[in-house]
């Protein structure tokens, strides 16, 4: 307040403003949006979502979810933008532009390799999270292009790093993984972790590039 900087006020919302607030729209699942193959509809979707977020007094929304669908057993597949990296990226970029036209920061999630439910939090809870082993080629061709589009074309203001490990290191604690965002994609926003168990070491996360330790979802 001393510097007239408003606080960040987060709410989730890949498929509409969450937490059962009254008088908000239950949007069609994001995978339905991607199925339109229509950039204009994606922009309108983001604009409507951003306006509703702003109307609740929030200014940071956990959307879009742009993890690539790689297994039908993934419980959050419906809130993503499908299995094609190009389609997901183009849809995400337009949705981000729409959201951020409403004075709301879009937070793209979950970076990176968060494509299954099993072991995300560790099994049992609190044990090491699942280690997603991905070749460099698959990472570049499948898992990262949608995030790149969200940054380069959508100018997304924030990215949420994920629970899982990626090639042995937690996504939120990996200088290599987080460094791609700014070093290669030109990302100049802030990074925050998914809730609770995404960060197992505050020092490692801060050193790797995590900026804000507010809880996501």
Catalytic residue among 131, 194, 202, 211: 194
Distance of alpha carbon 80 from alpha carbon 2, whole angstroms: 39
Strand partners, 170: 165
Distance of alpha carbon 10 from alpha carbon 215, whole angstroms: 9
Strand order in 105-111's β-sheet?
A: 10-12, 60-62, 105-111, 158-161, 190-193
What is the crossing angle of helices 39-55 and 85-100, to 10°?
Answer: 40
Active site (annotated) includes residue 194: yes
What is the crossing angle of helices 85-100 and 145-152, to 10°?
Answer: 30
208: tokens are 């790797």
Any idea which residues carry the catalytic annotation? 194
């Amino acid at each position: 307040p001393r510097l007239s900087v408003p606080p960040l006020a987060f709410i989730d919302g890949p498929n509409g403003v969450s937490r059962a607030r009254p008088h908000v729209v239950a949007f069609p699942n994001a995978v339905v949006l991607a199925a339109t193959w229509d950039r204009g509809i994606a922009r309108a979707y983001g604009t409507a979502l951003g306006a509703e977020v702003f109307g609740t007094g929030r200014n940071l929304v956990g959307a879009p979810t742009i993890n690539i669908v790689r297994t039908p057993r993934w419980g959050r597949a419906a809130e993503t933008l499908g299995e094609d990296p190009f389609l997901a990226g183009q849809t995400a970029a337009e949705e981000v532009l729409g959201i951020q036209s409403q004075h709301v920061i879009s937070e793209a999630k979950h970076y990176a390799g968060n494509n299954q439910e099993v072991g995300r939090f560790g099994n049992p809870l609190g044990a090491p999270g699942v280690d997603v082993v991905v070749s460099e080629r698959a990472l570049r061709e499948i898992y990262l292009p949608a995030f790149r589009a969200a940054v380069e074309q959508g100018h997304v203001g924030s990215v949420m790093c994920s629970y899982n490990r990626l090639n042995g290191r937690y996504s939120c604690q990996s200088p290599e993984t987080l460094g791609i965002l700014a070093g290669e994609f030109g990302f100049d926003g802030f990074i925050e972790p998914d809730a609770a168990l995404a960060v197992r070491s505050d020092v490692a996360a801060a050193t790797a590039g995590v900026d804000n330790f507010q809880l996501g979802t």
